[in-house]
A and B are shown apart, each in its own frame.
Chain A
Amino acid sequence: MPDQSHTDRAYEHELHTVRVSLLRMAGRVEHMIGQAGRALVERDAQLAQKVIAEDQEVNRAEVEIDELCLRILAKRQPMASDLRFVTLAMKMVTDLERIADLAVNICERAVQLCDTKVVVHAEIPEMCSAVEGMVRDSIDAFVNRDVAKARAVIVRDDVVDQYYHRIFEDLLRRMQHEPALLHEWIHVQSVAKWLERMGDHSTNLAELVVFMIEGRDIRHPRLHGDRKHGY
């Protein structure tokens, strides 16, 4: 059976590669969120451009991981937890890529805001940290198979939403008082909105991690009235 074990080893190696690539991609995305926030607050157009350039790497990683996962699905027909892992990786990659895109959007706005007098809200960097922490904890939960941590991330999305609502209310007020800066305030609003969306994507990540560990789909809890079991 040397052939069999050879196949097993190659298979193991492929799964390992998926895992490593996924973690590296996640690390890059985490980093991009933080850097985007910094570029915005410190009015660092250079840093913003660097983050925008980094998106290329994320896109490449997405394509690579997707391809590898498809190859594993086609060639190895993985079962049970391996199957969950591979499909999960494909979904996580999508969310991570979306988060990176949003970080790029923020950086583009940061470049535009660099030249204006607008001081972004102190909550924006806090929101960045919160989202970055959510992504990091989702991935940590994935690494350590820590369901409790993943569930904690899902709860934290509310905090990000609250940030967004506070900033939004404040922006409405400012727009009324300083119509001259309307353009800039709308940029800030977009940034806040994108951060809020990043929070949603992080929640998706955490839900996927719960699914991987428990094999139970916790997305859209209302659906489960009709459909008792997950997969």
Chain B
Amino acid sequence: MSLGFRRRLLLSSLVFVTVVDLGVGLYLEDRLRDSLDSRIRGELGRQARAMGEVLEGVGVDPAQPERARATIDPIADRFGAALEARVSVIGPEGALLGDSELSLSELVQAEDHSDRAEVVEARAGALGVARRRSATLGSEMLYVATAVPGTPDRVVRVSVPLSQVDDAVWQLRGILVLSGLAALVAAGVLAMVASRLLSRSLQALVATAQHEAGSLAGPELADPPSSVNALADDLRRTVRLLGNERERFETVLETMDQAVLAIDAEGRVSTVNGAGRRLLGLPEAVEGRPLLDFVRLPVLQGLIDEAASGRSAGAELDYGVSPRRRIQAHATATKQGGGTVIVMHDVTELRRLETIRKDFIANVSHELRTPVAVIQANAETLMAGAIHDPKRARTFLDALARHAERLGRLVADLLDISRIEAGRYPLEIEPVDLVELVDRTIAALALQASEKGTGLASRMKGELWVAGDDKALEQVLFNLVSNAIKYTQGGGHIEVDAVVIEREGGEPSCLRVEVRDDGPGIDPRHHGRVFERFYRVDSGRARDMGGTGLGLAIVKHLVEAMGGRVGVDARRPHGSIFWFTVVTAASALGGDDEEDPEDDEGDAGDGAAATEEADGTGEDRLDAAVANSSHAPPRAG
């Protein structure tokens, strides 16, 4: 099993070592032989030259070879013995004059040497070198020859048997082979150890891999690659799966309405979703930074501490200055790592609506209770005997009737408002003459105003055709004007006016109808809320006035149902301007069929500026509006 793998490993390392060893051996041998060769050659050359120097001084008579041989041969013999080489001296005709290996008698019989390659080269003046089998001695020799200076036809030749060189090479080869073998053995041992270690760690690796992957059958260690491949596949699959999972998780998290904030044990933000970012106003790069760097709400910190101690905790907290949000937060410790997950939602609107509903019920019961109690008390008094006293009975009956009427009005208002809110108040949008309508309203309320000594006047003349529901508009005007009368002290002045706030091709398209009083005015803090049901700026006083607390709420609903806006502005030096917008008949029902005549919110902020204008130039502009609208379709309102 693992042996196969190991054997392969071992074998390959042995083959590798052998090849390297052989290569190195051959190369080294070649280089060594070369260098040995050239060294020996150089040495022989120097020796030959030295011999030549010696022979230069030895004069010999070429005519008497016997004498010459007798003189030279001993010198050659001595040199040969000293140099451990064969030293020969060759005469002019190629005859050997001396030779360290041959005796005198043998010299004579020696053959002619003049045709030897080295001799020929030496006679030409160079250093002759040759390698061949010696005819005289019968062994492989290396010859080096040089001419004796002064007598160029005499040549000194030094030679050594090549076996000497071969011996050195063989010696070297032996060393190489031995060291190669040693290296082979060492490499073998090392490879064995390494393969064992490697195979062991590989086995462990594969085992771990298989265990981790948990899906591979049989520990097929004989084939580690396949199990590793399987693991890699497994890993890829797992990564992809996790990626998908993560993507899904992130999508869910991001599309959640609830804010999710996860922090680690050190209080650093680890995850936050889009809703969380928006709710807490967090910057982009927030992950990994301490939550305290951004949000330092004591309540939230308290929740986190509580969650860290093992209890999941919830609370409601206020966050931010303007707008201040009411946030419901719930913190839970994560199962691992000591982190905390906080889920939050914005309950500002919910709480506001709850408050309104609670207030509404409390208000309705309160408003209903008063007349009911009065009716009850009067009825009881009558039954207890007052009925027999006609004078007193009349007072009680009056009170009874008045409160019953108020109760009826209240119920009617409540019904109205619930009908409008439910969208079941049928509105018929048609051209209505605003001037006539205002006059009618003023006439209806003239008595009430004169009783208080309040002046009531319309500042509109001629005809002014607007698009609206006649009944609804009348109720709106009635409520606004009667409201103004109620809250303006005696001697005050109330005026109704209309201001053009938008024109289309020179024609007025949108009007703002204003009911101005010079009463005490309303603190701007209440401006946003006076149109809420039962909202009282000064609760005690308003009820004395006999109001139901629903008038302005009905106004708001009706105007909005007709596509207009309502509002209240402060008037200088004191007083209030209650206004609502309405589109002209010409623009809404005339030639250009504009479906939605309501202008967008952008104008809402200009209320104050428009009022300023109205104060100064309202009259002129109104006249213009009236003049322009005079050619509107004359229809009965």
Contact surface of A with B, Cβ cutoff 8 Å: 20, 23-24, 26-28, 30-31, 34, 54, 57, 119, 122, 129, 132-133, 136, 139-140, 143-144
Contact = CB atoms under 8 A, between A and B. Distances in A.
Given A23-B290, A24-B298, A34-B321, 16 more contacts: A27-B292, A27-B297, A27-B301, A28-B296, A30-B296, A31-B298, A34-B318, A54-B298, A57-B298, A122-B525, A129-B322, A133-B321, A140-B293, A143-B292, A143-B293, A144-B293
B293 A31 contact: no
A210 to B, nearest CB: 18
Interface residues of B, number: 17
Interface in B290-308: 290, 292-299, 301
Interface in B274-296: 290, 292-296
A24 B298 CA distance: 7
A35 to B, nearest CB: 8
A202 B301 CA distance: 23
Contacts of B297: 27, 31
B321 A20 contact: no
B296 A23 contact: yes
A24 B303 CA distance: 13
B321 A24 contact: no
20 contacts: A20-B290, A24-B298, A24-B301, A26-B296, A27-B292, A27-B296, A27-B301, A28-B296, A28-B298, A30-B296, A31-B298, A57-B298, A122-B524, A129-B321, A132-B321, A136-B296, A139-B296, A143-B292, A143-B293, A144-B293
A139 B298 CA distance: 15
A50 B91 CA distance: 136
B399 to A, nearest CB: 32
B149 interface: no
B547 interface: no
Nearest to B300: A27
B293 A27 contact: no
7 shortest A-B CB distances, which residue pairs? Answer: A27-B296, A23-B292, A143-B293, A28-B298, A129-B321, A31-B298, A27-B298
Contacts of B61: none
Nearest to B322: A129
Contacts of A132: 321
Contacts of A139: 296
Contacts of A31: 296-299
A30 B318 CA distance: 12
B293 A23 contact: yes
B161 interface: no
Given A27-B301, A133-B321, A119 B296 contact: no
A69 to B, nearest CB: 18
A85 to B, nearest CB: 15
B523 interface: yes
A139 B267 CA distance: 17
A24 B523 CA distance: 38
Nearest to A144: B293
A24 B293 contact: no
A132 B324 CA distance: 13
Contacts of B267: 20
Contact of A119 (B290, B295, B322, B523): B523
Contacts of A57: 298
A175 to B, nearest CB: 20
Interface in B511-566: 523-525
Contact of A24 (B294, B296, B322, B524): B296
A9 to B, nearest CB: 13
A229 to B, nearest CB: 31
Contacts of B318: 34
Contacts of A26: 296
Nearest to A126: B322
Contacts of A140: 293
Nearest to B267: A20
A153 B298 CA distance: 23
Contacts of A27: 292, 295-298, 301
Contacts of B299: 31
Contacts of A28: 296, 298
Nearest to A35: B318
Contacts of B523: 119
A78 to B, nearest CB: 21
A136 B290 CA distance: 16
A219 to B, nearest CB: 25
A57 B322 CA distance: 26
Nearest to B524: A122
Nearest to B266: A16
A143 B297 CA distance: 15
Interface string B464-490: 000000000000000000000000000
Contact of A20 (B292, B295, B524): B292
A185 B293 CA distance: 39
A58 to B, nearest CB: 10
A54 B292 CA distance: 19
B284 to A, nearest CB: 13
Contacts of A34: 318, 321
Contacts of A54: 298
Nearest to A136: B296
A129 B322 CA distance: 8
B579 to A, nearest CB: 22
Nearest to B298: A28
Contacts of A144: 293
A133 B290 CA distance: 20
Interface in B312-369: 318, 321-322
Nearest to A27: B296
A122 B299 CA distance: 27
B524 to A, nearest CB: 7
A25 to B, nearest CB: 9
Contacts of A20: 267, 290, 292
A128 B321 CA distance: 9
Contacts of B298: 24, 27-28, 31, 54, 57
Contacts of A23: 290, 292-293, 296
A119 B522 CA distance: 13
A34 B298 CA distance: 12
A213 B524 CA distance: 44
A24 B299 CA distance: 10
A24 B292 CA distance: 7
A30 B295 CA distance: 11
Contacts of B321: 34, 129, 132-133
A23 B295 CA distance: 9
A140 B294 CA distance: 7
B523 to A, nearest CB: 7
Nearest to B289: A143
Nearest to A130: B321
A129 B523 CA distance: 20
Interface string B206-233: 0000000000000000000000000000
A201 B566 CA distance: 44
A54 B322 CA distance: 23
A34 B296 CA distance: 13
A20 B301 CA distance: 11
